[in-house]
Amino acid sequence: MTRVLAIQNLHVSVDEKKILNGVNLDVKPGEIHALMGPNGSGKSTLAHALMGHPQYHITQGNILLNGEDITHAAPEVRARKGLFMAFQHPREIAGLPLAHFLREAYVSRFGEKISVAKFRELLRILMKELAMDDKFIDRPLNEGFSGGEKKKAEILQMIILRPLYALLDETDSGLDIDALTIVTAGLKRFFGAETAIVIITHYQRILKFIEPDYVHIMMKGEVVKSGDKDLAHELEQTGFKHLSHDTKASRE
């Protein structure tokens, strides 16, 4: 079996408005992909569609996860199979302690029991690495967390669940340089030969901390150009304005 997250000619609409216009992309274990583009280009729409958000309607195309068609699978099925998304704006959930949420997610993902005491000890170790105060263990999920603490909690969840493919939707948004350094160190801890990361971002800033193998530019719902890390450097100098749909032919 070939290990790959294959996005094939994906068309997606939201409230009957077409957002994605035939996205094709292959993401394999051991690869880091950066997905860049201006506001409204479809980057976040792609991530939500991949995770099965019900408001994002796939009207054409397929999503294959390691050869299995998950185009119309429920979000929880995709998650159990190893697909994960870190949100740009993580939700606050009152009354749901962080430790309880993560333990339940762990049991659902792997189908194995772990004692409360053992899991809390694991959390403390990982939270120390992410410079998170362990007082957050019993705090309601993201409630009262700063922007940086929310993003660290997302990375903590990713490390705990060990997904095969992680989609990071503007994880660098709102982070100061210290928090960004810690978050990207957590990403590097997670990343390995059996995993893949897709970083969705407007800017090159996070890519200076975690180097992508591939950079893809989206505009108007399509991937119009792909390249290596040098493409991100080029964008920093020129911006997105010089790109148009005629660059689609230059995709690698």
Q: What residue numbers bound the domain in which 81 lies? A: 5-250
Question: CA nearest 55: which of 25, 89, 19, 23?
Answer: 19
Is the separation of the CB atoms in 201 and 170 below 8 Å?
yes
Q: What's the pLDDT score for residue 119?
A: 95
Residue 202 maps to which CATH number?
3.40.50.300
Distance from C-alpha of 122 to C-alpha of 226, rounded to nearest angstrom: 39
Q: What's the pLDDT score for residue 244?
A: 56
What is the domain count for the chain?
Answer: 1
Question: CA nearest 203: which of 13, 32, 39?
Answer: 39
Residue with tokens 């479809």: 42
Distance from C-alpha of 98 to C-alpha of 83, rounded to nearest angstrom: 20
- Four-CA torsion 79, 150, 158, 129, nearest 10 degrees: -170
From first to last of its 252 residues, the chain has per-residue pLDDT tens of 679 999 999 999 999 899 999 999 999 999 999 999 988 899 999 999 999 999 999 999 999 999 999 999 999 999 999 999 998 888 899 999 999 999 999 999 998 889 999 999 999 999 998 899 989 999 999 998 988 899 999 999 999 999 999 999 988 887 888 888 988 988 988 888 899 999 999 878 898 899 999 999 999 999 999 999 999 888 877 877 766 544 544 444
Q: What's the pLDDT score for residue 251?
A: 44
Q: What's the pLDDT score for residue 235?
A: 83
Alpha helix (H) residue ranges in 31-172: 43-51, 75-80, 98-110, 116-129, 147-161
Q: What's the pLDDT score for residue 62?
A: 98
Q: What's the pLDDT score for residue 249?
A: 42
Q: What's the pLDDT score for residue 233?
A: 84
> What H or E segment, with its residue span, contains residue 174?
none
